[in-house]
Amino acid sequence: MVIIGGIMNKKIALRKANKLALKCWKEQVKALYPKCVMCGSTKRLNAHHLLSYRLYKKYRYDINNGLSLCSGCHKFRKGSPHQDPLIFADWLNKNYPLIYNYAVRVGKL
């Protein structure tokens, strides 16, 4: 691989910086929500982005754009944000209206 003018080094450095920023964001979300917000479990916690990581780049590392969910509630159970996003949005509105309103306002959902 030919490195021209340090472009490859800049891409690698940016990738590492993004990875570190995401790790810090996850740690902050888990500290703010030390239990799964849906079931209360403290095992296998995942930091979940309310607004899509890919679509809302501006809010990727915004601490207000996250909640802790155990791996089951995050991806696999009925009502999980990845299985049933509309059911999850309704649940979020009922249980965490301030967070729901933030996501709606910022994401213009």
| H or E segment to which residue 46 belongs | strand 45-49
- 59 contacts 65 by C-beta, under 8 angstroms: yes
CA geometry: angle 70, 59, 88, nearest 5 deg = 40
pTM of the complete model: 0.82
pLDDT > 70: what percent of the chain?
Answer: 91
Residue 39 has pLDDT above 80, yes or no: yes
Q: How many whole angstroms separate alpha carbon 39 and alpha carbon 70? A: 8
pLDDT tier at 9, thresholds 50, 70, 90: confident
